[in-house]
Structures are given as structure tokens and as C-alpha cells.
Structure 1
Amino acid sequence: MEFQDYYKTLGVQSDASSDEIKKAYRRLARKYHPDVSEQADAEQRFKQVAEAYEVLKDPEKRKLYDQLGENWQAGQDFQPPPGYESYTGGAGGRAGAGAGPGANADFSDFFEHLFGGGFRGGFGGGRTRKGRDQTARLTIDLQDAYDGATRTVELTDPATGQPRTLRVKIPAGVTNGQQIRLKGQGETPPGGGSRGDLLIEVHLRAHRQFHLRGRDIHLDLPVSPWEAALGSQVEVPTLAGPVDLRIPANSQTGQRLRLRGRGLPGEPRGDQYVEVKITNPPAEDEQAKAAFESLSAQFDFNPRAALSRN
């Protein structure tokens, strides 16, 4: 493979500053950009400029590149120096081949041999490539979101094909769609290295009586006509257990009452909203029908009086 003189490609000295390198790259990138340049080799020159800048803009990559020495000439057949094999996994092994689909696809073999297999900071150095983040979906009950819980997640690492089972701690107050990040539990990069992170998206199962909106919990509360008319104290379920709630006299269907701080934990903590639903007893026998007839006779009341006649 041919040695690439990145300093010559950008037209700067080997002791050029970061600003000088950036200015040279911008000037040449504008000059050779395929969309504006009419030179026949513009695309190839543009790729060479991009490759050179990719190395020289990064202090660690530039340091590694400089350790190759100053005696190499552009286009010269490159022979790896002593120690090169120890950090690439073999001079002839095309370390860059495992860098992932399309990674550095426009860069030269020289770049791939030197950096493509997961750049490490120096010969025999220790900073390896990090794997990609992995995502997983976890469905839990609303009660779990309120109390917090520990659940297991089954995963397969795409790089190794190995199945894994992880125990995940669900914090109290997690909301629907919220992501939990587990550092170092994602994919393993091809060729080895540190794992990426695991992002677990939490979804809440529908509850048979509670409805969640943000951190607030909503509940439809059936009450009898006399409880609504006269006022009463009734027991109301919450995720923390039942509580007593005072129903004001002359309450109507749709009226909302608030139980402060009875929603999901968090900052701020949610509330629980109770919506009154007046429910009539069934008139299934003569005695019940007579009671409703007596009630009708006692009131001159038309519940539809406010409706428009137009």
C-alpha cells in the first residue's frame, strides 16, 4: 500500500497549527468540491483532502501518524514500523475491515491499516473503539412506574450473536416512552473494544381504571345521585392505597376533584384527578320504580332546559 503524506496533501508544514490545518482544508475543500470544480480529478483530490484532514485535525491520530517518521514520501510503498502489528492485530490483517458497514469507505488502504480497526492512542496504546448503542423496549405496569421495580430484558448482541439477560432497575416515577440509559451494556464493536450503551424505552400497560397523562393520574369515580346531591365522603383508590375524598354537595357529572401529590413521583410530583360520574341505581322492580316516580313528583326539574331550541 502507498504511504500518504497528509501534510503535503494539505500543503502545510509538519509543525502547522490546528488553525493552519483547518484553513488549508477549507480552502482545498472549496477548490476541489465535485459540485463546483471542473477539474477531471476533483472528486479524487477532494477525498484525499478529506482523509488528510481527518487525521491531522485529531491530536491523537496526528501524534500516531507523526510517529511513523519523516522519511516517507507520498506514493512510496509503506512498510509498518516496529510495534505496528501490536496495535492493529497484524500488519497484513486489514484492521479497518471490521470498522462497520461503510465506515471510512472513501479513505485509502493506508488510512484503513492505520486507523480503521479502532484507533488506539499510540503504538500499543489503550483507547479502543466503542461499540454502537443498542435499543430495547420494556413494557411495565403502571404500579411498577409508581413504586419502581426490577425487571429482566433479553438481548442479542448483533456483533457476537450471543444472547444476554440483563436485570434492569426501573426508577419510581418513570413515564411512558422515557428512556433509561445503561452505560457499557450496548453492542460490542467488531474486532473488540468497549461496549456501547443500552437505551431501554419504557412503555406502560393500560390500566383498567387509572389513566396517565404526563405524571398526573385520572380516575372516573361513580357516585350515586344522593351522594352527589347531598355531599358525602367516599373511598377512592390510588396507586398508594385507598384514601377518603369529600364529594361536595350539588356535584355534577364531569366535575373534577384533585388529590394533590397522588400522581407519579418526580419533579414536580403528579396529582390524581377524580372526575365525578353520577350513576343511577337500576329500576328493576316495582319498589324501585315507585321511588323514582316519587322523586320525579318532588322536583320541577328539566335537565335539558339549557339546550338551545334552534
Structure 2
Amino acid sequence: MKYRDYYKILGIAPDAEPGEIKRAFRKLARKYHPDINASPEAEAMFKDVNEAYEVLKDPERRAAYDQLGKPGPGSHDGFRPPPGWEGGFEFTGGGPEGAEAFSDFFESLFRRRGQPFGGPGADQHARLQLDIEDAYRGATRVLTLRVPQAAADGSVHLQDRSITVHVPKGILEGQHIRLPGQGMAPLGGGGPGDLFLEVSFAPHPVYRADGRDLYLDLPVAPWEAALGGKVMMPTPDGKVALTVPANARSGQKLRLKGKGLPGTPPGDIYATLRIVNPKVTTEEARRVFEQMAREVPFNPRAGIGG
């Protein structure tokens, strides 16, 4: 069964007010009405617009539809209602050709005659953005979600809800944190669903994460690259001494084993060397470089015939 995004069909936001829904419907109904628009796709669009309006104009239907949540990318064509879903609605008019004009999606969710409304609430999905340091050490975050709520008078409004999230040490980008019972509350009977938080990492000024491994560009001075030795390198757990081999080249990658994101086994840190030349701003610095030019035989363009 194919998922139908009714908000997208009407061109409105999920938090649109009832007046906005009605105006959007009237505008699109006039645009695609078969008596006005003779294009091949007009009839199908007219049916879609009517179906979307039938759901979103009714507070109870709209709240139930919002409980479903939007499926992830690539799952629209294989959409299935969550376990325990109970429609409890009867279609009673509207639409250009009566009930037969509506999709299987609508029929499956809103025409289950004789079934009591209730059952468990739907699971919800959200994204949680963390710093890499949060995943390295573990953290506690307070997440604020805006969720649709059905009031006693049947109106639907968005309500802010704050949830404390404990981030486990070593969590990876793309993994999910499950919070049981923190999903959508049911409209009647049953318990709430679960909340699933997909973890993403905020852009970091130093590190790039790939699984449990961390990557960074490490600037080194020309003499550090030429002579080798220990240089101080940052890690999420503090600075460590990294051994640079003599005659290191720009772009060379060095590995710091076991210092990446925690796990079994932990990840590594890979430092790509970037040789940075100092600015020559004093006469003494100029004399040093002139002496190097005279005494160090080196042609950086030898490999290209320069």
C-alpha cells in the first residue's frame, strides 16, 4: 500500500490551521475540477485533493493520521499501518464519485466499520544531533518535540513536550536510541508508542567521523615533517603525543590506534599531515630560509620535469 502525504497534496504545513486547510482545498479544487481543467492528470489530482481534505478537515481523522508518522525514505510504496492500528472511521460523503473515489490507503485506515477506536499509540521518529564529544563520553540531553494533540472539543493543536535523553557512550551516527512509552499517545485506550531517535553528528571544526574512526587534518611545520619527532595532537579525550616519522610528506596519513569512538573494539584516529609554511616577516627568518635554499639541495618540481 502506498503512503499518502495529505499535507503535501494540499501544499500546507503539518501545523496548518483549519482555515488554511479549507482555503488550500478550495483553491486546488477549482484548479483541478474536471469541468474547468481538461488536462489528463486533472481528474486524478482532483480526487487526491478531495481525499486529503476529507482527512485533514476532520479533527479526529487528522489526529489519527498524524499518529501514523511519516515513513522514512524509500518506504512509501511498502507502507503498512503500525501494529494494533484501529481506524474506527466511516466515510460519509464528499469526493467527486463517493467513497469509491478514494485510495486503498484511505480505505485501509478510515473505513473499518464496527471496530472500536483505540489501541496503542503509534511510534514516533525524530533526529537527535550530537557533538562527537557526546558520543565519546556519553551525555544527557533535553529534547523538545512538537506533537499534535487532540483537545476535548475535537480541535488539534501542537504541544511542546520535553524529554530527557541519556546518550550512551560510544553511540554511532545513524544508530537509534529507543525511548519506550515516549511516542504518540493514543486517542483512546492502550498505551503510548515508543520514540526512536536517529543520531547524527553536528559538523565539527576538527574531526570527521566514519563509523568508530575519527579523521582530522594535522598541521605540521616544515622542520617537524623533515626531522620527525613528537608533536601534540588533539583527541576528544585530550592531547596526545603523536610520532611523526622523519621526511614525512604532506598528505601522509598516520594512525593513532584505539583513540577513536569507544566500542569493542574502539575506533582509531587517522591524522593526515598538512605541511604549513611560516610567514617570513623578519630579517632573521629570511636569512634562515635563504641559508636553507643555499645549503639544502631540493627541487620540489623534479617529479614533473621542472
Shared fold (TM-score greater than 0.5)? yes
1:221 corresponds in structure 2 to 218
1:244 corresponds in structure 2 to 241
TM-score, normalisation: structure 2: 0.60
Give runs of aligned pairs for residues 70-81 of structure 1, distance below 5 A. none
In 2, the alpha carbon distance for the partners of 1:183 and 1:101 equals 29
Question: Which AA in structure 1 matches 2:165?
Answer: V
Give runs of aligned pairs for residues 123-272 of structure 1, distance below 5 A. 129-160=119-150, 161-272=158-269
1:295 and 2:287 aligned:
no
SS of the residue 1:242 aligns to: strand
Gaps of 5+ in 2: 1-86, 91-104, 151-157
Question: Which AA in structure 2 matches 1:130?
Answer: P
1:278 and 2:275 aligned:
yes
Question: Which AA in structure 2 matches 1:303?
Answer: P
Q: Which has the higher contact order (CA 8 A, sep 6+)?
A: 2
Cα RMSD of the aligned pairs, angstroms, is 2.4
Are the counterparts in 2 of residues 230 and 249 from structure 1 also a CA contact under 8 Å?
yes
User: How many positions carry a matched residue from both structures?
Assistant: 200
**1:212-235 Cα distance to aligned partner (Å, 9 max, x none):** 122111121111111111111111
Are the counterparts in 1 of residues 89 and 111 from structure 2 also a CA contact under 8 Å?
no
**1:144-199 Cα distance to aligned partner (Å, 9 max, x none):** 11111010111244244543211001111222232211121101122232111101
Deviation, structure 1 residue 307 = 1.7
Are the counterparts in 2 of residues 133 and 196 from structure 1 also a CA contact under 8 Å?
yes
Q: Which has the larger radius of gyration?
A: 1
TM-score, normalisation: structure 1: 0.59
Gaps of 5+ in 1: 1-94, 119-128
Residues 104 and 218 of structure 1: CA distance in aligned 2, closer, same or farther (over 3 Å) = closer
In 2, the alpha carbon distance for the partners of 1:170 and 1:194 equals 25
1:305 and 2:302 aligned:
yes
Report sequence identity in percent: 46
In 2, the alpha carbon distance for the partners of 1:147 and 1:236 equals 19
In 2, the alpha carbon distance for the partners of 1:247 and 1:231 equals 5
